[in-house]
Amino acid sequence: MTARPVLGILGGGQLAQMMALEAIPLGIQCHIYDPDPVAPGRLCAIHHCAAYDDTSALLRFAAAVDVITYEFENIPMSCVTFLNTHKPIMPGITALQMCQDRLTEKTFARSLGFVTAPFVDLVPTLSSSDALRTVGAPAILKTRRMGYDGKGQQTIQNAEELDVARAAYGSYELILEGMVHFRHEVSIITARAQDGTTVRYPLIQNTHRQGILRTSLAPAPCRTTELEALADQIASTVLDALGYVGVLTIECFVVDAPGGSTLVINEFAPRVHNSGHWSIEGATTSQFAYHVRAVMGLRIDPPELRGYSALCNLIGDEPAHSDIPVGVSIHRYHKTPRPGRKVGHLTITTTDHTALQHTIEVCNQLIGVRIT
């Protein structure tokens, strides 16, 4: 057996699974590192089942792989810095640190000249009323770290509520963000190779409910030439500033601006992203293939879209195969369904916009969620 390149993935969920499914045809084998014995990625990768602070397991993992990446940004930094002394970690530690903390990511975005929501670092010495005066009420209280799918977030109406909430969060570091009155939510999914080549999908339009992504449309119906140009500028500026390698996702709000609309940066995810899952069917190169190619030092070429795509998350439940409309692809993650848990997704890709609308209606009924 000729030695084949091996990619190590921290985290073994559905994102790792979909990366491994793309890696194999490229001649790359994946190892996942995940303490969950039934991590979905185990189906198509070697599974290192151990805790993130198990140094001997981490050493074995590092020894088995050529490059290390990750499928979630909330990895303990101690784990990552330890591994990085043994094997290259991509995207790098700088990007990971930036994205782990809502305060640093917003500060970073502003330092590059881009717009974010108003925010303040809720240091203990800052009074709740002063904080609310800065960002405006109502506001959103968020933990600086470890938030995902709307977890660690709370809407705040006044200083009293904020006092109570701050006390409840105890020693957690917090950030207070002003509300953004947005027209749409979009994501920028972009990738940068080791040679500095960058690629980007058109803007993707997202619908969330209860903090969880429900549906994505690609390309975004709300896109304009101006918004795409701004997305290009954001993507290339951020990627270059970080010397980034891999797929980067930037979630933005589309807000009214003089003469049109503009993008307000909400958050970064230094990884493949749920809003890009449609790209498996909907583009000639999926986000998973881009990420694998980039971190493994392969060339990346611009994507071509195969038409209009829609993504519907399957949350808490999976439809029977027989109920899935003709022309719709299902991806099941092999996870036990429970309320609020992402267990799969549906993708519709078509060159016929009328057919897309019709199929979306059928999926809406199937999963009980409205795709706008």
Chain contacts with a copy of itself (rule: CB under 8 A): 1-2, 4, 17, 20-21, 24-27, 29, 38, 43-44, 281, 284, 298-299, 301, 304, 306, 318, 321-322, 326-327, 329-332, 334, 336-337, 344, 349
Shortest distance in whole angstroms from residue 120 CB to a copy of itself: 44
Nearer to a copy of itself, 158 or 284 (CB): 284
Distances (CA, A) of 79 to 31, 48, 70, 84, 197: 16, 14, 11, 9, 29
Distance CA 275, CA 258 (A): 28
Shortest distance in whole angstroms from residue 22 CB to a copy of itself: 9
| Sheet with 29-33, side-by-side order of all strands | 46-48, 29-33, 6-10, 67-70
Shortest distance in whole angstroms from residue 220 CB to a copy of itself: 23
What is the DSSP-derived secondary structure letter of residue 277?
T
Nearer to a copy of itself, 113 or 304 (CB): 304
Three-state DSSP class for 209?
Answer: strand
Nearer to a copy of itself, 56 or 336 (CB): 336
Distance CA 283, CA 304 (A): 6
Shortest distance in whole angstroms from residue 325 CB to a copy of itself: 9
Nearer to a copy of itself, 3 or 123 (CB): 3
H or E element in which residue 262 lies:
strand 260-269
Cβ count within 10 A of residue 211: 13
Phi and psi at 32, nearest 5°, equal -110, 150
What is the token pair recorded at 336? 């036990």
Of 105, 177, 110, 174, nearest to 143 (Cα)?
174
Nearer to a copy of itself, 4 or 151 (CB): 4
Q: Identify whether the C-beta of residue 201 lies closer than 8 Å to the C-beta of residue 189.
A: yes
Shortest distance in whole angstroms from residue 139 CB to a copy of itself: 41
Shortest distance in whole angstroms from residue 13 CB to a copy of itself: 14
Nearer to a copy of itself, 250 or 343 (CB): 343
Nearer to a copy of itself, 147 or 327 (CB): 327
Shortest distance in whole angstroms from residue 197 CB to a copy of itself: 12
DSSP codes, 44-101: GSEEE---TT-HHHHHHHHHH-SEEEES-S-S-HHHHHHHHTTS-BSS-HHHHHHHH-
Shortest distance in whole angstroms from residue 362 CB to a copy of itself: 14
Nearer to a copy of itself, 79 or 363 (CB): 363
